[in-house]
Structure 1
């Protein structure tokens, strides 16, 4: 039940061209900003839109030769798209009935699936009588009832409030762990991707820009989008040992010697701010001007302009003491040990 594909879809002002694979039991998250091509890729895999080039092979079978209804693919849409006139039980039984499973057996299978997702007491309810989390689980059960070889999830938690999302994410993780086929999850939420997926594929402007497990991607982002996603400052430059020229001859000193084209990344919390030029151990110091101040969790996120654009996180008390406000001129410092360089 492995998936191998190259998806090429051309539109007037946009082209999706990505290769995507998934092994049996593996959850692969397609992650990227709005308009990156994630949902287009999912719809192409589902057979809802045609390919202009490429192929989709599932367990050795070329899906391009099969009509959509025979591809044995389960889809959970962002808005779930449950049939409003059917009960939860009949929504889930719909797939088996389409495969000509006798009505009684289809309903037995549906009841078993609803029990598995914790909805044994809600089988008679219509979609309007269900909470968002319950509707999501009915949609998942309906997709699984078709006995798919490939499961496609399009922003499955996006319609939920924060509290329900947390609980449903944990439940969904358990259900996906028991699914024997390949799963493709489309999301723009990094937490959904990190919690649910075995491997991340980051898509921007219709192209794959980075792929790997969560640890690799969060440690070594390769685009500004990924860096913002994982909360790092990121620069591209040219290294000669521990010195990296990143912008207009501005040099950052790192703790990891490299040669040639590299990325340099560091945490906003690693940037220290001072009213005057600091003395002592920091290898990197530069003058900066406060552009914006915003709340970021328990800290304040300070966006700085200067020789490089940089984000710094400080405590509210430090912000008051330094009188940080837009237009304030200060000094920034970064220890070399806090900056990581890796090949571009």
Structure 2
């Protein structure tokens, strides 16, 4: 269960099947109470549709959505619970605070909708604002708050209804880099204390790695990979995931320590047979003006297609029998005269090349 303890409280069990125009979503999600799951994917993958379905803003066309053992959406039984009656808290990307209400009354809005009288709702709101460090800003309206403060008000508003499911839609995307760093740490603390299930929708791998116990990757409306951060980052299964974790990834046919990718045979540290992925970091790719001799087991001719700054180094995109990225120092790039169209030889040591089976999605929906 990662950093969160398992409780006896039931969890989210969902098979989200929904249509939005020509787009079709078919995603299974299970989240235990106290667990944080990050839903990642490229633009248009279905992350927002999944979140809206969970919140009750987009009805399912099939499947089911069960929370705390209660069906909130099950089309086969014509069961659908409207958003305001779901034990779900949502923090939207732009927070959507009511501009005419103070921070206190924004947070009190949910408890009031759930039947609390005004005094009790405002007392609860003040308690939550104190917990997120905004007691002194309780009387301010959204336009008087910084981005980080508005995010914390939105989080307090979502948590004030004691949700069985907390949904976070890109909760840090609107913040500048410095505020994002501080707010991420603050959010981590509050999620660790939340007893319900949490789904974090994000495109930022750092947010996912810091905040979530488990990652679920969606592409084109389907889950392509899931698991804890260590397993996902070590063995990406799609180009999107490989880019997310900074690895070159290719699929080929393995026979022992050799993986054939097209016309190129790569030697890997791992022994695999059959359909396989082979992965290696850009930093493991060495570039040479001519064919290298010596220790590298994997060499091939390549052509530079692009050179970009990447941190303190340069990221070189290469075409050839396989398309790869290589990281080199500016000094090495100057020495090799790396410009688009330049021919070089690429080399990767077998010890830095990982191979693993390329079967179906390797981590089933989580159960506790």
Q: TM-score interval w.r.t. the shorter chain?
A: over 0.9
Is it true that 1:324 corresponds to 2:341 in the alignment? no
Is it true that 1:252 corresponds to 2:266 in the alignment? yes
Per-residue displacement from partner, 1:281-325 (whole Å, max 9, x unpaired)? Answer: 100111111100001111100000111101000011111111111
Runs of 4+ in 1 over 3 A off after TM superposition: none
Tell me the residue number matched to 2:312.
298
- Distance of 1:284 and 1:98 partners within structure 2: 64
TM-score (norm 2): 0.92
* Secondary structure in 1 matching 2:30: strand
Tell me the residue number matched to 1:190.
205
Tell me the residue number matched to 1:209.
224
Is it true that 1:311 corresponds to 2:325 in the alignment? yes
* Secondary structure in 2 matching 1:134: helix
Tell me the residue number matched to 2:61.
52
Tell me the residue number matched to 1:162.
177
Equivalent position to 1:220, from 231, 235, 239 = 235
- Distance of 1:328 and 1:207 partners within structure 2: 39
Pairs within 5 Å for 1:117-136: 117-136=132-151
* Secondary structure in 2 matching 1:63: strand
- Distance of 1:12 and 1:108 partners within structure 2: 44
Is it true that 1:266 corresponds to 2:280 in the alignment? yes
Tell me the residue number matched to 1:108.
123
- Distance of 2:227 and 2:233 partners within structure 1: 10
Is it true that 1:5 corresponds to 2:3 in the alignment? no
Tell me the residue number matched to 2:362.
none
- Distance of 1:107 and 1:47 partners within structure 2: 26
- Distance of 2:86 and 2:22 partners within structure 1: 30
Deviation at 1:13, TM superposition (A): 1.7
Tell me the residue number matched to 1:334.
348
Equivalent position to 1:78, from 67, 84, 93 = 93
Deviation at 1:103, TM superposition (A): 1.1
Number of residue pairs matched?
343
Worse-matched range after superposition: 93-102 or 271-280: 93-102
Gaps of 5+ in 2: 1-9, 74-78, 359-368
* Secondary structure in 2 matching 1:255: strand
Deviation at 1:129, TM superposition (A): 0.4
Is it true that 1:67 corresponds to 2:82 in the alignment? yes
Gaps of 5+ in 1: none
Deviation at 1:34, TM superposition (A): 0.4
Aligned-pair Cα RMSD in Å:
0.7
Equivalent position to 1:15, from 24, 29, 51 = 24
- Distance of 1:324 and 1:145 partners within structure 2: 57
- Distance of 2:168 and 2:135 partners within structure 1: 23
* Secondary structure in 1 matching 2:25: strand
Deviation at 1:136, TM superposition (A): 0.3
* Secondary structure in 1 matching 2:84: helix
Deviation at 1:10, TM superposition (A): 1.5
* Secondary structure in 1 matching 2:58: coil
- Distance of 2:34 and 2:138 partners within structure 1: 28
* Secondary structure in 1 matching 2:296: coil
Deviation at 1:120, TM superposition (A): 1.1
Worse-matched range after superposition: 109-118 or 9-18: 9-18
TM-score (norm 1): 0.99
Deviation at 1:12, TM superposition (A): 3.0
Equivalent position to 1:171, from 186, 192, 198 = 186
